[in-house]
Structure 1
Amino acid sequence: MSSPPSPQANATHRMFGALLVRHLPGSRHAPLSIERADQGLFLLWLAFMGLLAFAALLLWQAGAWHRLIEADPTRLTVVIVLMFIGCSGWAGQRAWVLGRQRTALDLAQHTGQHAGSWSGEFLHGTAQPGADRASWLLVLGERAHGAHEMAWWLNGIQLKLGLLGKVIGFSILALNLGQLESFDPSQSAQLLKSLTGGLGIALLTTVTGLTGNILLGLQLMRLDRFADALVADALALSLASDGASDGHRPTGP
């Protein structure tokens, strides 16, 4: 059980790319067995980044990156790519942090030692007499999910930058058409080149924004699911501890 998502997070999750990610097979499942291993989430992120780096290398060898930069004078595609790289690096760091918290919770389940972790503070706080478990659960949920909201917002910005590029591209196309006073067949090649320039900006920025939105959304969705399982397991361990404590209480007067 985790704290309810904020309205801002719900609005961000309705983005087209994030909505598509939510319907991919396995995106909303509980943590996989490999993620449950020691730093498994981080290792899975490394494998995903390796695939993306290999694909980027193939595109570079094919000259796609050079043509992409040349075809987009607005440089919005470069901004989107840099934003994706930065957010993906943060997602890897977050996967490492969540993995350490998972290890600490597993240690608490087996040995009862739960010092120096989010779940440890939660278990220690809820074990106090008269403790408000709902308040402690909100604190744990904020620590597990709160940092993800900014990443989801930046993920939506990628898509919006792509749409901004589409608007700029079609605006350039409309301006070129507006400046056309007469059609000269001898200048048709130059005319088509000027008209397709705006269309190229619109398509390239939109495709780049959508691709970045989907790939980053996939990483953030797995982080959310892992954090959900962390909060749920910590709550289950707290309830089990309370049940064990209640079972040793005398029932008679």
Structure 2
Amino acid sequence: MKEQPEHSLLLRWLILTGLIAFSLLIAWNEGIISQLFHIDQSRISWIIALVYLIVTLHCGKLIYSISLQMNLSREVDRMIKDEDKLDIKVEGDDVFINSNIKLPDCFMSDYISDLFYSNKNMAGGEEAGSPSELIEVYESRLKGPQEIGWFVSDMMLKLGLLGTIIGFILMLGSVAHIANFDVSNMQKILQHMSNGMGTALYTTLAGLSCSILTAMQYHMIDRHVDELIELTRHLTQVHVLPKINGA
């Protein structure tokens, strides 16, 4: 497998965020964003933009954490594979290999520690879960914070559709109380209909765009979480469990 650079997830996210920021700067310079906020009478676009900013900050925090865990877990993977003979010892929350080499505190070393105690309980006759059940607990712990991101992505899409409905209500409401369709009234009607259609289209655009961009970011996180889980599962099944069971 090709070795990835340190903080590869964080670097990819920064590139994506930079491209998004550059695109927004161009859109602002061309007057597209100011036009969007000016025409949108429902102000839903403002809400979508604020929610997107908050969820991007949340995503950045998660990405830094996962990227750091990925780096430390790869270091644990290298340290264990570099040892010809492997003796694992756990003291409290610390994991040592070959008596004096302490593994970095990270997702993988925590899993090895729990796996060690789980097998120790089984050897003592106590009931304990299987390694597959334990890795599922860790996987759930890693993927739990991403659930809010997928929920918000779906919510922004629905907010865009809500803005579409409001826009059409505004558009149709402009002709509801018109009795005389003379030239001056027609101009006002067309103006109101144009504003309502603008609200419908721009809120839909904001909701779709922000929903897609949010989903892209959380998809990046999910892929790297799966990679971290697979790295942990492979190392423990091939290199760690045989040593623990043979201890």
Does the pair score TM above 0.5? yes
Q: Provide the C-alpha distance between the structure 1 equivalents of 2:162 and 2:103, rounded to a whole number of angstroms.
A: 48
Q: Provide the C-alpha distance between the structure 2 equivalents of 1:33 and 1:95, rounded to a whole number of angstroms.
A: 21
Contact 2:116 2:244 in 1 (8 A): no
- Residue of 91, 104, 108 corresponding to 1:119: 108
Would you identify which runs of 4 or more consecutive aligned residues in structure 1 move more than 3 Å? 112-115, 246-249
Partner of 2:166: 168
Q: Provide the C-alpha distance between the structure 1 equivalents of 2:163 and 2:215, rounded to a whole number of angstroms.
A: 20
Q: Provide the C-alpha distance between the structure 1 equivalents of 2:152 and 2:187, rounded to a whole number of angstroms.
A: 40
The runs of 5 or more residues in structure 1 that have no matched partner are: 1-31
User: Which structure has more RCO (C-alpha within 8 Å, separation ≥ 6)?
Assistant: 1
Q: Provide the C-alpha distance between the structure 2 equivalents of 1:46 and 1:192, rounded to a whole number of angstroms.
A: 44
After superposition, the Cα gap between the structure-2 partners of 1:83 and 1:33, relative to the gap in structure 1 and judged at 3 Å, is farther
Partner of 2:41: 73
Q: Which is richer in strand?
A: 2
Deviations 1:2-26 (A, max 9, x none): xxxxxxxxxxxxxxxxxxxxxxxxx
After superposition, the Cα gap between the structure-2 partners of 1:180 and 1:145, relative to the gap in structure 1 and judged at 3 Å, is same
After superposition, the Cα gap between the structure-2 partners of 1:38 and 1:126, relative to the gap in structure 1 and judged at 3 Å, is same
- Residue of 42, 51, 56 corresponding to 1:83: 51
> Equivalences for 1:147-166 in 2 at 5 Å?
147-166=145-164
Q: Provide the C-alpha distance between the structure 1 equivalents of 2:112 and 2:164, rounded to a whole number of angstroms.
A: 51
Partner of 2:99: none
1:206 aligns with 2:204: yes
- Residue of 103, 109, 125 corresponding to 2:77: 109
The runs of 5 or more residues in structure 2 that have no matched partner are: 81-101, 123-127
- Residue of 223, 228, 231 corresponding to 1:230: 228
TM-score (norm 1): 0.79
Decide which moves more: 132-141 or 117-126: 132-141
1:63 aligns with 2:28: no
Contact 2:48 2:206 in 1 (8 A): yes
Contact 1:77 1:204 in 2 (8 A): yes
Deviations 1:194-252 (A, max 9, x none): 11111111111011100001111011111001101111111111101256438968xxx
Deviations 1:87-124 (A, max 9, x none): 11221221111111111111111113544212211112
State the aligned residue count: 217
Decide which moves more: 214-223 or 177-186: 177-186
Instruction: Name the Cα RMSD after superposition.
Output: 2.1
Q: Provide the C-alpha distance between the structure 2 equivalents of 1:94 and 1:243, rounded to a whole number of angstroms.
A: 30
Percent identity between the two aligned chains: 25
